[in-house]
Chain A
Amino acid sequence: DGGITQSPKYLFRKEGQNVTLSCEQNLNHDAMYWYRQDPGQGLRLIYYSQIVNDFQKGDIAEGYSVSREKKESFPLTVTSAQKNPTAFYLCASRRGLGLEAFFGQGTRLTVV
């Protein structure tokens, strides 16, 4: 079945460590997105990408990094520079400009 797969579902990180969240899609979509969800703040855009090897910062990119080496994959690294990384992270993709996005099931990251 076509879809977006995020892994792992739950992730625990020690303070000061980098951690990478995986996002893979087999929908042949060009655009991919990463969002952070905190209670009461909705979805905030971290990074987005339209094509391989290119991506743009969203509204809260500080402390995060991404890569887009393959069309299907858009991993997000949460670096030690991100001061409050505990949150629910959602990855999305969409086929073209102006069209609806499809979402993965999310990764819940907790700093311990």
Chain B
Amino acid sequence: AQKVTQAQTEISVVEKEDVTLDCVYETRDTTYYLFWYKQPPSGELVFLIRRNSFDEQNEISGRYSWNFQKSTSSFNFTITASQVVDSAVYFCALTPLEVIQGAQKLVFGQGTRLTINP
């Protein structure tokens, strides 16, 4: 079975601080995909990034960066110079390679509630 763990339930920082959200996963598959989503107060999840298990290059997109380390089964997300608009719940997710009758599971972690204070 697959599992995604986000140990940080809530994080609160002051604006302009850097913050890292942790994500640790478990899967027996050698090929899988990892994702990060943002859930603002409106409730709809917004896709941020997708990463293939064979691609361990770190990625940067503006103030966002992701650190994928297969050796520690981690896919951490860093926001640099945080802003109040970054306040949301952030989810890490995993899709294993296993396909059951053509369908793949998409497994989420518990989420981290991030609050950026002005």
Taking Cβ atoms with an 8 Å cutoff, the residues of A that contact B are 30-31, 33, 35, 40-45, 48-51, 54-56, 58, 88, 90, 92, 94, 97-106
Contact A42 B6 (CB under 8 A): yes
A111 to B40, CA, bound (A): 25
Q: Report A-chain residues with C-beta under 8 Å of the C-beta of B6.
A: 42
Give A99 to B35 CA distance when docked, in angstroms.
Answer: 9
Select which of B47, B99, B100, B109 is within 8 A of A100 by beta carbon. B47
What separation, in Å, do the CA atoms of A90 and B108 have in the docked complex? 12
Residue pair A100, B43 in contact (C-beta under 8 Å): no
Contacts of A40 in B (CB 8 A): 9, 110
* Chain B nearest CB, measured from A110 CB (Å): 15
If the complex has contacts A42-B6, A42-B110, A45-B106, are A50 and B101 also in contact, measured as CB distance less than 8 A?
A: yes
Q: A56-B101, A99-B50, A100-B35 are in contact. Are A92 and B106 (CB under 8 A)?
A: yes
**A98 x B101 contact (CB < 8 A):** no
Task: Return B96 CB to nearest CB of chain A, in Å.
Answer: 10
Interface core residue of B6, B9, B106, B108 (most chain A CB under 10 Å): B106
- CB neighbours (8 Å) of A51 from chain B are 101-102
State the Cβ distance, A104 to closest chain B Cβ, in Å. 7
Give the complex CA separation of A103 and B45 in angstroms: 6
1/0 contact string of B41-84 vs chain A (CB within 8 Å): 01111110010100000000000000000000000000000000
CA distance A49 to B106 in the complex (A): 11
Is there contact, CB below 8 Å, between B91 and A50?
A: no
27 A-B residue pairs with CB within 8 Å: A33-B106, A35-B108, A43-B111, A45-B106, A45-B107, A45-B108, A48-B103, A48-B105, A50-B101, A50-B102, A50-B103, A54-B102, A56-B100, A58-B105, A92-B106, A97-B95, A97-B99, A97-B104, A98-B33, A98-B52, A98-B95, A99-B33, A100-B35, A100-B50, A101-B35, A102-B47, A106-B44
Q: What separation, in Å, do the CA atoms of A45 and B104 have in the docked complex?
A: 12
